[in-house]
């Protein structure tokens, strides 16, 4: 669904904001003067981030809360608490995720299950909580952070990660489809980042087209602010890579990723 309002999305909630893309987006939004609702498991890192941002940008509000997104009731409680504190939430970025796992059949079911539950089931809880709030207040922008790996099945440690992100991509489209049935001034964007340097991928042995975290998060914000239905980030070379990934034989796709 296209953007339905031109006003600035002032209050931004970001999950998984204590590191990586979440922290990077928080820094970028603070520099733009946005108010922030930040949640993650590592509250000490959130406290440090809040103190730093409010010192650099004294005109913004930064609220923080501890959140394990796999505690689904806590997701609803924390999101609603932020909504009450700020009065409204203009944009909710479902960013928290993980990349543990291994090829199936290698005895790592627990790690694969944890990745699937965190990247999809916990994201489902966040989307549900977000849409509850948006329907209640009558507006909002839901952003899900998927991955370029959502476009195709991938081997090894990427198998379950890619599958969970593909599920998140489909979930995002399903929410957009529901909004076509019951129109409301609510936008839904699914963002597919390529390789942006963060804790989740810093040990990957093969990372083509990697960009640093600051540049990657700047590209993320540029895409999110346009409120697209879907965006590959950074645009170059990932739009081309995405076009090829959807069409090439799987054997060739592996050379791109």
Whether the CB-CB separation of 57 and 36 falls below 8 Å is answered with no
Is residue 3 predicted with pLDDT exceeding 60?
Answer: no
Kindly indicate whether the domain formed by 11-256 is annotated with CATH number 3.40.50.720. yes
Round the average pLDDT of the chain to a whole number and report it. 92
Give the tens place of pLDDT for each residue, 78-128: 999 999 999 999 999 999 999 888 999 999 999 999 999 999 999 999 999
Find the distance separating the first CA and the last CA of the chain, reported in whole Å. 30
Is residue 142 predicted with pLDDT exceeding 60?
Answer: yes
Q: Hey, where are the domains in the chain?
A: 11-256
Give the tens place of pLDDT for each residue, 209-240: 889 999 999 999 999 999 999 999 999 999 99
Closest C-alpha among 226, 244, 17, 218 to residue 148 = 244
Give the tens place of pLDDT for each residue, 64-74: 999 999 999 99
Q: What is the pLDDT of residue 5?
A: 43
For range 241-248, the mean pLDDT? 92
Q: How confident is the model at residue 206 (pLDDT cuts 50, 70, 90)?
A: low
Q: What is the pLDDT of residue 200?
A: 61
Q: What is the pLDDT of residue 201?
A: 54
What's the predicted TM-score (pTM) here? 0.93
Q: How confident is the model at residue 4 (pLDDT cuts 50, 70, 90)?
A: very low
Give the tens place of pLDDT for each residue, 160-203: 999 999 999 999 999 999 999 887 899 999 999 999 987 665 66
Is residue 156 predicted with pLDDT exceeding 80?
Answer: yes
The residue ranking higher by pLDDT, 170 or 257, is 170
Is residue 1 predicted with pLDDT exceeding 60?
Answer: no
For range 140-165, the mean pLDDT? 96
Q: How confident is the model at residue 50 (pLDDT cuts 50, 70, 90)?
A: very high
Closest C-alpha among 129, 245, 130 to residue 186 = 130
Residues 232 and 242: their CA atoms lie apart, in Å, by 8
Q: What is the pLDDT of residue 184?
A: 80
Catalytic residues: 161
Q: CB under 8 Å, gap of 24 or more: what pairs does 53-60 form?
A: 53/26, 53/27, 56/30, 57/30, 57/31, 57/33, 59/33, 60/30, 60/33, 60/34, 60/35, 60/36
Q: What is the pLDDT of residue 183?
A: 76
Q: What is the pLDDT of residue 71?
A: 98
């Amino acid at each position: 669904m296209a953007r339905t309002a031109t006003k600035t999305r002032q209050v931004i909630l970001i999950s998984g904001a204590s590191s990586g893309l979440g922290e990077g987006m928080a820094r970028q939004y603070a520099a733009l003067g946005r108010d922030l609702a930040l949640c993650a498991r590592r509250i000490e890192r959130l406290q440090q981030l809040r103190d730093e941002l409010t010192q650099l940008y004294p005109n913004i509000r930064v609220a923080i809360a501890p959140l394990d997104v796999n505690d689904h009731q806590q997701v609803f409680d924390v999101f609603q608490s932020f909504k009450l504190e700020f009065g409204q939430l203009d944009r909710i970025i479902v960013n928290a995720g993980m990349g543990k796992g291994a090829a199936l059949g290698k005895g790592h079911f627990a790690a694969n299950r944890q990745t699937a539950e965190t990247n999809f089931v916990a994201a489902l809880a966040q989307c549900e909580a977000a849409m509850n709030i948006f329907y209640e207040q009558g507006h909002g922008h839901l952003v899900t952070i998927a991955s370029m790996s959502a476009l195709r099945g991938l081997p090894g440690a990427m198998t379950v990660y890619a599958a969970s992100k593909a599920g998140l991509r489909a979930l995002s489209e399903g929410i957009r489809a529901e909004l076509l049935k019951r129109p409301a001034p609510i936008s839904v964007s699914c963002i597919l980042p390529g390789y942006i340097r963060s804790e989740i991928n810093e040990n990957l042995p093969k990372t083509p087209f990697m960009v640093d975290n600051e540049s990657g998060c700047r590209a993320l914000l540029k895409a999110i602010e346009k409120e697209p239905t879907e965006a590959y980030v950074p645009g170059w070379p990932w739009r081309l890579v995405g076009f090829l990934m959807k069409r090439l034989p799987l054997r060739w796709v592996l050379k791109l990723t």
